[in-house]
Amino acid sequence: MLRAATLCAMGILALGVSACSGSGRGDGQGGSGPAASGGTSKTGGSGSGGSSANGGAGSGGVGTGGRTGTGGATGSGGLTGSGGGSSSGGVVGTGGSVGVGGSVGVGGSVGVGGSVGSGGSLGTTSVGTGGIVGSGGVVGTGGRIGSGGTTGRGGAVGNGGVVGTGGATPGTGGTTTTSTTPPGACQESTCGSHKWACWPVPTPPSEKLTHPQNYADLGNGAVRDNVTCLVWEKANPSTQGTWQASADRCAALGTSSYAGFNDWRLPTRVEMASLIDPTLGRTAYASPPFTTTSGAYATGSYWWETIQGINGANLAWGYGANGMTSNAYSLAGTNFVARCVRGNGTGEAPNALAVEPANHYTVVNGETTDNYTGLVWQSGFSPTLMAWADAPAYCTSLTLNGHTGFRVPTLGELSSTVNEARVGNAVVLSAFPGTPNGCKDPKYWFWAAESQSATADWGLSYCDGFTGTNVGTTNNGVNDWDYFPTANVRCVRNGP
């Protein structure tokens, strides 16, 4: 672990730790200033070129002709097409079930949140005509759909289930979808961590990638994320207060069994990141279904130095209304609000280091597969720093192990790689070797796919995982925390 003197020298503590500078960051993210109302972001939409390259969705949208069973009966002797069925004789599972339990999620529909990939669409290529269910769609024992396309956690709609090869199918028209999938359709994660993404990473619907954000309004003041299976408070009170006041309010929701659940808590950094859609501008949370207030959204993630008891640090990760995150929010500050969350089993306490889940990454010849999100990453990164506008071409041209289809990751996808148990180069080094170790320099920043305006592009610093736009300046060799006119890019593709 880095010593305090090293952190000061690297500039980490310039993000708000009083032991170095004696004050908070004062840049809209740090100390007493929320990233939402006083942040650096500019008004404006996604900006030119704000969409991820090669992220196009297949035509047909979600679920058009794509309900399991239509044209491909799964009952007794249910054949998958004429001569084209998977498994012996084309029987779809035992008794026609897809995987254990016999259904693809509750309700059996594949589409909303559970996209069918290229070559595996249940929309444009209907089940029954030719019997093709995905690429090589074996729907027999174990309920596998397509090449490597497991239905995910128990067949949940869109949860963990990378259905088909690169299955990209956004919501209708590429907008955030509000689903009518009944409660219980999601099977929650039990990986033992709330500080790592043990679920597919939701993506902005306008970018037309896999796992577009998809929510179900439960009609009781709560909203279920059909991708992560987390259940969120729909509207948070606007009254601001300390971090502890926000934590206590979420705990009180559990005590009162709000919306029928007793395990309400503050969300962690990566859980809040799953809600962010940077293409929406200054309010980066989908509305509907959410109502967003001003203030810094508190998280159940203390900063590394605070957990370690170094330098008297008293900081937690927080999110602004515009989606910018920082570790520079003082626990004693009075500008916190909270969007409480529940679900996905047990996890770390706010003052505990992130616990990496078992079998997290598989690394093969320069490719790193996240076995929980299903994303396949470039283990390294670009050989040189580059402008944001040049990053898509670099990723499009990348070939690793014969694999193409790489693209610039979304801000949420980048956030899923952050290891909160480290600073300096806040990653799992065995999965991402060579990640630069330091802070407050462009070489520690990595581009995201989104831009906030024509002059403000999103990135993430592996100093410890904070995000921002490249609007900072440098003066006499001293860089603002968000100064990165050029940056690295670490490309990603959809697995398998």
pLDDT digits (tens, 9 = 90+) for 307-362: 999 988 899 999 998 888 998 899 999 999 999 999 999 999 999 999 999 999 99
CA dihedral 283, 288, 289, 293 (to 10 degrees): 30
**d(C-alpha 409, C-alpha 76), whole Å:** 44
Contact 401, 386 (CB under 8 A): no
How high is the pLDDT of residue 401? Answer: 97
- Position 203 confidence tier, pLDDT thresholds 50, 70, 90: very high
d(CA 189, CA 484): 36
Strands (E), 119-181: 177-178
CA 411/CA 320 separation, integer angstroms: 14
pLDDT of 312 reads 87
Distance, in Å, from the CA atom of 385 to the CA atom of 95, rounded to the nearest integer, reads 56
In the DSSP assignment, the letter for residue 109 is: B
Contacts of 104 (CB under 8 A, 6+ apart): 68, 98, 110, 114, 145, 151, 155, 157
Say yes or no to pLDDT of 442 above 60.
yes
What pLDDT, on a 0 to 100 scale, did the predictor assign at position 281?
Answer: 83
Mean pLDDT confidence for 454-466: 95
Lowest mean pLDDT among 46-50, 181-185, 453-457: 46-50
Dist. CA 345–CA 343, nearest whole Å: 6
Q: Residue 175: pLDDT above 50?
A: no
DSSP state of 415: H
Task: Determine contact, residues 320/296, Cβ cutoff 8 Å.
Answer: yes
Per-residue pLDDT reduced to its tens digit, 255-313? 999 999 999 999 999 999 999 999 998 888 999 999 999 999 999 999 999 999 998 88
pLDDT > 70: percent of the chain: 63
Residues 217-256: tens digit of each pLDDT: 999 999 999 999 999 999 999 999 999 999 999 999 999 9
Question: What kind and span of H or E run contains 451?
Answer: strand 445-453
Cα three-residue angle 356-357-363, rounded to 5 degrees: 85
Q: What share of the chain is helix, strand, coil (3-state, %, to 5)?
A: 15, 20, 65
Please tell me which residue, 281 or 182, carries the higher pLDDT value.
281
Contact by Cβ (8 Å): 376, 493: yes
Q: 203 or 167: which carries more pLDDT confidence?
A: 203
Residue 450: is its pLDDT beyond 90? Answer: yes
Please tell me what DSSP assigns to residue 357: P
Tens digits of residue pLDDT in 91-124:
233 333 333 333 333 333 333 333 333 333 333 3
Pairing of β 361-364 and β 231-233 = unpaired
pTM for the full predicted model: 0.66
Please answer whether residues 363 and 370 qualify as being in contact, where contact means their C-beta atoms are separated by less than 8 angstroms.
no
User: What is the pLDDT at residue 68?
Assistant: 33
| Mean pLDDT in residue range 453-461 | 95
Q: Which residues pair with 116 in a beta bridge?
A: 163
Q: How many CB atoms lie within 10 A of CB 237?
A: 13
* Helix and strand counts by DSSP (H, E) for the chain: 7, 18
**AA letter at 34:** P
pLDDT band of residue 187 (cuts 50, 70, 90) is confident
Mean of the per-residue pLDDT values for the chain?
Answer: 73
pLDDT band at 54 (very low <50, low <70, confident <90, very high): very low
Residue pair 24/32 in contact (Cβ under 8 Å)? The answer is yes
Question: 25 pLDDT exceeds 70?
Answer: no
- Beta bridge partners, 178, equal 215
- As a whole number of angstroms, the distance between CA 188 and CA 197 comes to 12
- What pLDDT is recorded for position 15? 38
pLDDT at position 420: 97
267 DSSP β-pair partners = none
Predicted local confidence at residue 243, as pLDDT: 97
What does the pLDDT read at residue 185? 62
- Burial (Cβ within 10 Å: 0-12, 13-18, ≥19) of residue 254: middle
Residue listed under structure tokens 């606007």: 238
What's the pLDDT score for residue 282?
Answer: 82
Region class of 69: left (phi > 0), else alpha (psi between -120 and 50), else beta: left
CA neighbours within 13 Å on the CB side: how many for 457? 27
Using 50, 70 and 90 to split pLDDT, how confident is the model at 462? very high
Task: Provide the pLDDT for residue 124.
Answer: 32
Q: How confident is the model at residue 208 (pLDDT cuts 50, 70, 90)?
A: very high
Sheet (strand 315-319) strand order: 325-330, 315-319, 296-302, 336-337
Bigger pLDDT: 40 vs 240: 240
How far is Cα 223 from Cα 37, in angstroms, rounded to an integer? 25
Mean pLDDT of 187-203: 94
User: What are 59-86's pLDDT values in tens digits?
Assistant: 333 333 333 333 333 333 332 333 333 3
Distance of alpha carbon 267 from the chain centroid? 13
The Cα angle at residue 64 between residues 63 and 65, in degrees rounded to 5: 100
Cα gap 469→451, rounded to integer Å: 8
Q: Give the highest mean pLDDT range of 2-11, 47-56, 322-331, 390-399.
A: 390-399
